[in-house]
Structure 1
Amino acid sequence: MQTSTRPLPDPAATESLGAALGAALPDTLVIHLNGDLGAGKTTLVRALLRALGHEGAVRSPTYTLVETYDCGSRRIYHLDLYRLADPEELEFIGLRDLLDGPSVLLVEWPERGAGVLPAADLRVQLTVAGAGREARLDAETEDGRDVLRRLE
């Protein structure tokens, strides 16, 4: 596993990291986003999507569980599993269909999908650090390591 830690002193730094991640993404990747409520997960996703050219609204999929974005040739799925009662519910929302073909999965609260959700290529842990945040990025696969190399 390869790890990178970045200070995020303000929301602009979180947005900058999101934009850099967007620029570094391959066509297919699974990113697990961890952090407490308000840690900046959706802010990071919004900036990533903007970097890929998405101009519309970016809503947190807290109630819908998944929002789909077409960004050029890429399909990005933003999942928020906070309200998931049972990991098996992922089958009902069509998780297998989301994984059919090139796609990027950005998953908030991935621990709630344990046993059903695909393993992460990259884990992003956002934590409160003083007045700002800190991001720890853990590459779990070679694709994840490639993303970290592109961020350097």
Structure 2
Amino acid sequence: MKIFLADTEATLGLGIALGESLPPGSVILLEGDLGAGKTTLVQGIGKGLGITEPIVSPTFTLINEYTEGRLPLYHLDLYRLEPQEVLSLNLESYWEGVEVTPGIVAIEWAERMPYKPDSYLSISLTYGDEGDRQAEITPFDCAIDKIIAVIDSRILQVGSQNSV
């Protein structure tokens, strides 16, 4: 599924729709160049979950945990790591809910992961010359029908607000 995102607000809107509709245990693997909107999308997910705390990129802390919303949000950034370093993080504890409350796991720079969960959404963000972006969402062994319906209605709302 490819979605055209006209601006930062549309990227936030997509994130909000995901935050409102994803069930506990959902994993989102984010890929895209610097500035493509990965952190903006995660900020929208946080808003959709009802998190009021500012969501910032965990580039230097690696993992930020936000627990005040509908579900916890675990925001990881692997930009500074090599695949071998990622192994020592035991990321599966986040999506398996072994040591943490099941929530939504959003991982930036997921291409640095030497392994993937059994079920996840892959979101690849690219940007154009005009500040626009495109998100390509690919589900891997997860139901996405309800999520697509929420995303479609959210995009229509954002589009109609922008055209007024």
Does the pair score TM above 0.5?
yes
SS at match of 1:74: coil
The equivalent residue for 2:31 is 34
Q: Assess, with a 3 A threshold, how the Cα gap between structure 1 residues 120 and 88 changes in structure 2: closer, same or farther.
A: farther
Q: Is the 8 A contact 1:68 1:76 kept in 2?
A: yes
The equivalent residue for 1:80 is 77
| Matched residue type, 2:78 | L
Which sections of structure 2, spanning at least 5 residues, go unmatched?
153-164
Query: How far apart are 1:146 and its partner, in Å?
Result: 4.3
| Matched residue type, 1:77 | Y
Q: Give the whole-Å Cα distance in 2 for the aligned partners of 1:33 and 1:143.
A: 18
The equivalent residue for 2:56 is 59
Residue 13 (str. 1) matches residue 46 (str. 2)? no
Query: TM-score scaled by structure 2?
Result: 0.79
Q: Give the whole-Å Cα distance in 1 for the aligned partners of 2:48 and 2:78.
A: 24
Q: Assess, with a 3 A threshold, how the Cα gap between structure 1 residues 12 and 142 changes in structure 2: closer, same or farther.
A: same
The root-mean-square deviation of aligned C-alpha atoms, in Å, is 1.9
- Write the mapping of 1:93-108 to structure 2, written as runs, cut at 5 A: 93-98=89-94, 99=96, 100=98, 101-108=101-108
Which is higher, the Rg of structure 1 or of structure 2? 2
1:78-125, CA deviations, whole angstroms, 9 ceiling, x for partnerless residues?
11101112334443x34243232522210111111122x425521111
Query: How far apart are 1:57 and its partner, in Å?
Result: 1.6
SS at match of 1:57: coil
Identity %: 38
Query: How far apart are 1:147 and its partner, in Å?
Result: 2.5
Count of equivalent residues: 147
Q: Is the 8 A contact 1:30 1:119 kept in 2?
A: no
Query: TM-score scaled by structure 1?
Result: 0.85
| Matched residue type, 2:46 | L
Structure number having the greater strand percentage: 1
The equivalent residue for 1:126 is 125
Query: How far apart are 1:151 and its partner, in Å?
Result: 2.6
Which sections of structure 1, spanning at least 5 residues, go unmatched?
none
Q: Assess, with a 3 A threshold, how the Cα gap between structure 1 residues 87 and 144 changes in structure 2: closer, same or farther.
A: farther
Q: Give the whole-Å Cα distance in 2 for the aligned partners of 1:40 and 1:149.
A: 22
| Matched residue type, 2:4 | P
The equivalent residue for 1:151 is 151
Q: Is the 8 A contact 2:79 2:109 kept in 1?
A: yes
Q: Give the whole-Å Cα distance in 1 for the aligned partners of 2:85 and 2:146.
A: 31
